[in-house]
Homo-oligomer: A and B are copies of this chain.
């Protein structure tokens, strides 16, 4: 180890350009094992293609040196990075982890790594992220929502990378899609509240695009079902994304101050609904008798709070698994059957309405 390990014959006539940085390479491992670099490569990537004896020698050499293959070099040569990227608005929200987890696991099982990016809700960094993703030649991309900049669309299509859009629905995605309709969801919630006998509904809704779709559809259906207030207005409190318990509390306070007669609130997230629950408790408002509450997301805590939160469940697991499946199929060169999937949603009836 202390001797000069790279004492190879250097050309006499000219100085050596660019020195290898001292890092361990496949060449070193191969030399140690007494084989050609390509053979060492085969031993690592396609063990069945080499003789057992050589395999053992190479593995031993790897073990002894602590060699870790350079995936950059491998990816450059093979045009395969074994990297799939996912972009979500934020990981702070309890909404996405379920999908991410499923994605991570399904991908890991196939030998792929997930690279996670946060685009933010407001000043979206999606375009930059996409540039980094394409630049790293990811083998697949999973995106949240279906609206992107024209530049992003163009780049994505030009790159030829398999793309799965999620968490929303359009019949014409960039490539593939697993999601659900926020419009249908909003309408379904309004109809559900009506079915439960509520007649004066209100909304606390986040400002992100998908929440707005849910909210708008809810309001329209509520109006059609005569659940609006005077003047056909459905009292609405707008909050910025990402949503918090605090915003839910302020929302209920504001709503109640101006419209004391409301008998149910639709919250565009369970976090907001949780805030409503706590504000109601602080004000001594009986739930669900005096006020019904329905959230959206069915977060981990929703079933466990008191009273247990009625909400709308989206199966993040299915989204993640399906997205992984789609991408893996594409990578394998197979045709994906039914690549635009609406997985729907379920209203989970519990104790708050």
Q: Which of A50-58, A65-73, A218-226 binds B?
A: A65-73
Given the known inter-chain contacts A79-B21, A300-B244, A303-B246, please indicate yes or no for A118 contacting B104, CB distance below 8 A. Answer: yes
Selected interface stretch from A141-149, A179-187, A273-281: A273-281
Whether the pair B304, A68 counts as a contact (CB closer than 8 A) is no
Contact of A72 among B116, B136, B155, B306 (CB under 8 A): B136
Measured CB to CB, the nearest residue on chain B to A81 is B72
A115 within 8 A of B: yes
**Stretch among A27-35, A127-135, A327-335 lining the B interface:** A127-135
In Å, the complex CA distance between A68 and B72 comes to 17
Q: How far is the CB of A88 from chain B (nearest CB, A)?
A: 10
Chain B residue nearest to A116 (CB atoms) is: B116
State whether the Cβ of A282 lies closer than 8 Å to any Cβ in chain B.
yes
Task: List chain B residues, Cβ under 8 A from A279.
Answer: 306
- CB-CB < 8 A to A79: which residues of B? 21
Q: Does A124 touch B at the CB level, under 8 Å?
A: no
A55-109, CB < 8 A from B: 66, 68-73, 75-76, 79, 81, 83, 90-92, 94, 97-98, 100-101, 104, 108
- Distance in angstroms between the alpha carbons of A280 and B134 in the assembled complex: 51
A245 at the interface (CB under 8 A from B): yes
Closest 5 CB pairs of A and B: A246-B304, A245-B301, A92-B97, A245-B304, A71-B135
List the interface of chain A (C-beta within 8 A of B): 21, 66, 68-73, 75-76, 79, 81, 83, 90-92, 94, 97-98, 100-101, 104, 108, 113-118, 125, 128, 131-132, 134-137, 154-155, 158-159, 244-246, 249, 271, 274-275, 278-279, 281-282, 300-301, 303-306
Q: What are 15 A-to-B residue pairs whose CB atoms are below 8 Å?
A: A66-B155, A69-B135, A72-B75, A91-B116, A92-B97, A92-B98, A101-B118, A104-B118, A108-B128, A114-B117, A115-B115, A116-B116, A244-B301, A246-B301, A271-B301
Given A108-B128, A114-B117, A246-B304, 5 other A-B residues pairs in contact with their CB atoms under 8 A: A66-B155, A70-B76, A70-B135, A92-B97, A115-B115
